[in-house]
């Protein structure tokens, strides 16, 4: 990889897909391609980030994002500090900014932040000199998820240009849906949002997506079907009659999947609620790439850390 190209993201923050150009997205995807093979080595480690310190500041629950950042950091030989709000002084009333300023006093190079409030990573990025990476902020964005989703689509279809991507579920409360809509629009794919009317976002038109209140017409000819869970933790009241009825009308079943293109792949960012938005037969079926998404998440997060650190080695996977 040309060093000057790899330096395009040096020292920057990754707070949202809306702030990345198509060229920067392409660079991250290509870098992740090179880093994927590190996981196949007998010793899954390169010295690229030796001497760098990464703080993982997770103020909301996470399994995939948190562990895959941690694996990515360790595979790049960075030192890691793990922060969870339940065991920190946040429980004694310390604010996010005081927490971050105190962590900065220990000179980290990166802060990975997941926070329930939309915009928290952006505000940190304005005042904190370390590179800030958004690991999910409220209902706003989840940029590294959209990047790993795009990477997984590209593995199957080579290019994102012209792909028909259905995103179905609780779109209104989904940062994954928003980041995917931004990314797929920049890369020339067609996005179809599907949800009960009460769970469609108000800004669908601005996002450049088409909307459907039934799954069947949206699935016609789809290349990718991405299912999302209902985020009850972000809703004060249930926006549909019952989970049973939700399954009957909006779940991806084997019969409904047949409406999509024969080569269609099924995606889900996790956590899945089997029997609510997705039938287990589909989740575990031959068209599912759900666990490939998780594998690819490590390579994407390694690529982002490598590029923000300046992309200084000739190749990201140099050992």
Binding site for ligand CP (CB under 6 A): 62-66, 136, 142, 145, 269-271
Of the pair 69, 311, the CB lying nearest ligand CP is at 69
In angstroms, give the least distance from the CB of 289 to ligand CP. Answer: 14
Pick from 26, 6, 31: which is nearest to 188 by CA?
A: 26
Of the pair 62, 80, the CB lying nearest ligand CP is at 62
| Exposure b/e, 86-122, CB count within 10 A at least 16 = b | eeeebeeeeebeebbeebbeeebbbbbbbbeeeebbb
In angstroms, give the least distance from the CB of 148 to ligand CP. Answer: 9
Asked if 194 and 168 touch (Cβ cutoff 8 Å), the reply is yes
- Give the DSSP letter string of 244-309: HHHHHHH-B-HHHHTTS-TT-EEE--S---BTTTB-HHHHTSTTB-HHHHHHHHHHHHHHHHHHHT
Q: Distance between CA atoms of 111 and 114, rounded to whole angstroms?
A: 10
Q: Distance between CA atoms of 167 and 195, rounded to whole angstroms?
A: 9
In angstroms, give the least distance from the CB of 136 to ligand CP. Answer: 6
Of the pair 48, 179, the CB lying nearest ligand CP is at 179
Of the pair 137, 223, the CB lying nearest ligand CP is at 137
Of the pair 135, 207, the CB lying nearest ligand CP is at 135
In angstroms, give the least distance from the CB of 169 to ligand CP. Answer: 13
In angstroms, give the least distance from the CB of 58 to ligand CP. Answer: 9
**Hey, which residues does 267 pair with through a beta bridge?**
226
Sign of the CA dihedral with 307 first, then 309, 312, and 313 last: negative
Asked if 316 and 306 touch (Cβ cutoff 8 Å), the reply is yes
Q: Which two tokens stand for residue 292?
A: 């490939």
Bond preceding residue 192 cis, omega within 30 of 0? no
In angstroms, give the least distance from the CB of 300 to ligand CP. Answer: 12
Q: How many CB atoms lie within 10 A of CB 140?
A: 21
Of the pair 119, 270, the CB lying nearest ligand CP is at 270
In angstroms, give the least distance from the CB of 43 to ligand CP. Answer: 27
Of the pair 201, 269, the CB lying nearest ligand CP is at 269
The order of strands in the sheet holding 164-168 is 210-212, 190-194, 164-168, 224-227, 265-267
Of the pair 109, 141, the CB lying nearest ligand CP is at 141
In angstroms, give the least distance from the CB of 17 to ligand CP. Answer: 14
Q: Which two tokens stand for residue 107?
A: 């000179």
């Amino acid at each position: 990889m040309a060093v000057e190209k790899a330096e395009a993201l040096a020292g920057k923050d990754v707070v949202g897909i809306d702030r990345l150009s198509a060229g920067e997205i392409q660079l991250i995807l290509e870098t992740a391609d090179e880093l994927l093979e590190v996981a196949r080595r007998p010793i899954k480690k390169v010295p690229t980030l030796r001497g760098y310190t990464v703080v993982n500041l997770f103020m909301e629950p996470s399994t995939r994002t948190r562990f895959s950042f941690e694996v990515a950091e360790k595979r790049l030989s960075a030192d890691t500090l793990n922060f969870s709000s339940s065991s920190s002084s946040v429980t004694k009333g310390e604010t996010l900014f005081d927490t971050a300023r105190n962590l900065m006093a220990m000179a980290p190079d990166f802060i990975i932040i997941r926070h329930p409030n939309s915009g928290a990573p952006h505000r940190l990025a304005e005042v904190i000199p370390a590179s800030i990476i958004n690991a999910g902020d409220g209902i706003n964005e989840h940029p590294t998820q959209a990047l790993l989703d795009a990477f997984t689509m590209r593995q199957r279809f080579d290019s994102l240009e012209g792909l028909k991507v259905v995103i179905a579920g609780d779109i209104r409360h989904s940062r994954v849906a928003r980041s995917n809509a931004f990314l797929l629009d920049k890369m020339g794919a067609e996005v179809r949002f599907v949800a009960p009317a009460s769970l469609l976002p108000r800004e669908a038109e601005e996002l450049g997506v088409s909307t459907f209140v039934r799954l069947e017409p949206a699935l016609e000819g789809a290349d990718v079907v991405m299912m999302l869970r209902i985020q009850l933790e972000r809703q004060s009241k249930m926006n549909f009659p019952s989970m049973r009825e939700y399954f009957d009308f909006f779940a991806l079943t084997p019969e409904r999947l047949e409406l999509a293109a024969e080569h269609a792949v099924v995606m889900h960012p996790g956590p899945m609620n089997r029997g609510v938005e997705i039938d287990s037969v589909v989740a575990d079926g031959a068209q599912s790439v759900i666990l490939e998404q998780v594998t690819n998440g490590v390579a994407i997060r390694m690529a982002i850390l490598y590029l923000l650190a300046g992309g200084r080695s000739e190749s990201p996977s140099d050992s």
